[in-house]
Amino acid sequence: MKTTLFQTDIVWGNPDENILRIEKLIDENPSSDLYVLPEMFSTGFATEPEGIAENDQQSLKWMRKTAMKHQCAIAGSVATEEDGKYYNRFYFVKPDGSEVHYDKHHLFTYGGEHKCFTAGEERVIVEYKGVRILLQVCYDLRFPIFARNHGDYDMALYVASWPTVRLDAWDILLHARAVENQCYVMGVDRTGDDPACSYSGGTKAIDPWGKTISECKASQVDAITIDINMQTLEDFRKKFPVLNDGDF
């Protein structure tokens, strides 16, 4: 499965401009099966959602339209308002326009995300092109029990707005999740600045051995494309069946 990760510089609170920039990146990186975008890719990460969170599904409608146009899947999180509640919602949209979503479970209390957003309760795994994909958002990365692989997924997607000041932790934890869960891990972070933080990227793809396959250039808008090889993963799991000995 051909997967492209986008490390974008997000314009604060401007979905139209951010979508235009992503469309340009898609045109420059054609024919992927899956495109992955950062956390709150259309607005920037907001802990106070009023005026930021979407109630008209603007970003989701664009994701559906683009997925059908390019016959690909698109994944990324959006600040969403539904029935008077706010969610940091990670959408995975398939080529037919159908979507599966995961609401961020671990809200970032240090930044006050929990004060306005509602935490999701369910872990979500999407199957696409023969790959079972765990959906995770930013702060979820720090909680390994929630991401424990029960033999039910092959790749974990972490979309984030992870600031430069804590980038060492991001790097260490992404590699740890790949090794302990014997899976591919895709970590997609942004670059640039918002009213609270500065970001320098750190977007990378990691294989089940914990090795970095490819990574974006630091502090730049960039994209990387990786081919996920399920046969390689299955052979490794059979040869070295770590997951069979996990604590469940």
Q: Which of 138, 183, 215, 216 is catalytic?
A: 138
Does the annotation mark 81 as catalytic? no
Take residue 194 and report the two structure tokens written for it: 């918002």
Does the annotation mark 39 as catalytic? yes
Does the annotation mark 138 as catalytic? yes
DSSP summary character for residue 195: S
Q: Which of 72, 94, 99, 104 is catalytic?
A: 104
Q: CA dihedral in degrees (171, 148, 120, 173; nearest 10)?
A: -10
Return the bridge partners of 190, or none. none
3-state secondary structure of 216: coil
Number of other residues whose CB lies within 10 A of the CB of residue 69: 11
Contact 134, 156 (CB under 8 A): yes
CA dihedral sign of residues 6, 227, 147, 101: positive
Q: Residue 119 and residue 122: Cα distance in Å, rounded?
A: 9
**Residue positions annotated with a catalytic role:** 39, 104, 138
